[in-house]
């Protein structure tokens, strides 16, 4: 499959490398087509790896991942362009973390709105599925790194898109359960878990942990 990943940070790189390892073609997208991190990643990931602008990456992918910083996501998607986004599934992994006021970061959007909703509102023809934003990127693509089961949440307005994403999360990454929280407004809760996640990382002194819903 051809996959476009918006964002060249550790999250985009980790997801991209895993997808290439699974046999997919991946193009990382950045603001410019000479992004150093993207060039280096492309070198290291063989013939199926490429990089380009946000627009090129969005045009390339049949499925898209938003791995940009949450506070830069809308600008990145605007650069990607509606013509390259419309009709596609965007797996929104981003969190609206605002580091501008010091540590710990606060959320730039929350409570009555969310980044997932803002993206969906701005790009009505894009099938936004919020997922994977509640854990470290190594666990996103390799949940078996933890010995016992844990959960990934998902939400979005398009039922078919969610079914497809749930299947990909299981087949690509090995997730056993994907909890569908309903429409895209559930992105509020998924993003608002970040302050607890950050605090837990400090307490446990590792990013390698995740939430499990025990019933």
**Residue ranges binding its own copies (CB under 8 A):** 106-107, 110-112, 146, 148-150, 153, 179-182, 186, 188-190, 192-193, 195-200, 202-204, 206, 208-215
CB of 117 to its own copies, least distance (A): 13
Nearer to its own copies, 25 or 180 (CB): 180
Q: 116: closest CA among 79, 150, 91?
A: 91
50 or 185, CB closer to its own copies?
185
CB of 144 to its own copies, least distance (A): 12
- What is the DSSP track for 37-72? HHHHHHHHT-TTEEEEEHHHHHHH-SEEEE-S-GGG
Please say which residue, 77 or 184, places its beta carbon nearer to its own copies: 184
CA distance 81 to 87: 12
Shortest Å, Cβ 110 to its own copies: 5
Count Cβ atoms within 10 A of the Cβ of residue 209 and give its class: 0-12 exposed, 13-18 middle, 19 or more buried.
middle
Please compute Rg for the chain using Cα positions: 16
Name the DSSP class of 147: S
Question: Smallest distance, Å, CB 213 to its own copies?
Answer: 5
Q: Which is nearer to its own copies, 68 or 133 (CB)?
A: 133
Tokens of 198: 């950050």
Nearer to its own copies, 75 or 196 (CB): 196
Q: How far is the CB of 104 from its own copies (least distance, A)?
A: 8
């Amino acid at each position: 499959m051809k996959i476009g990943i918006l964002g060249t940070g550790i999250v985009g790189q980790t997801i991209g490398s895993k997808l290439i390892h699974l046999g997919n073609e991946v193009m990382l997208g950045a603001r410019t087509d000479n992004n150093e991190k993207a060039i280096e990643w492309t070198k290291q990931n063989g013939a199926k790896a490429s990089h380009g602008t946000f627009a090129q990456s969005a045009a390339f992918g049949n499925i898209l991942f938003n791995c940009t910083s949450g506070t830069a996501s809308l600008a990145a998607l605007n650069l990607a362009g509606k013509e390259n986004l419309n009709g596609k599934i965007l797996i929104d992994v981003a969190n609206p973390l605002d580091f501008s006021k010091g540590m710990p970061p606060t959320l730039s959007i929350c409570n009555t709105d969310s980044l997932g909703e803002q993206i969906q509102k701005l790009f009505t023809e894009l099938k936004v599925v919020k997922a994977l934003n509640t854990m470290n990127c190594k666990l996103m693509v390799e949940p078996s790194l933890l010995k016992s089961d844990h959960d990934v949440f998902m939400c979005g307005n398009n039922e078919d898109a969610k079914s497809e994403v749930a299947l990909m999360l299981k087949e690509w990454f090995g997730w056993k359960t994907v909890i569908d929280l309903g429409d895209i407004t559930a992105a509020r809760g998924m993003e608002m878990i970040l302050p607890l996640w950050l605090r837990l990382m400090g307490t446990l002194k590792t990013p390698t942990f995740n939430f499990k819903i025990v019933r």
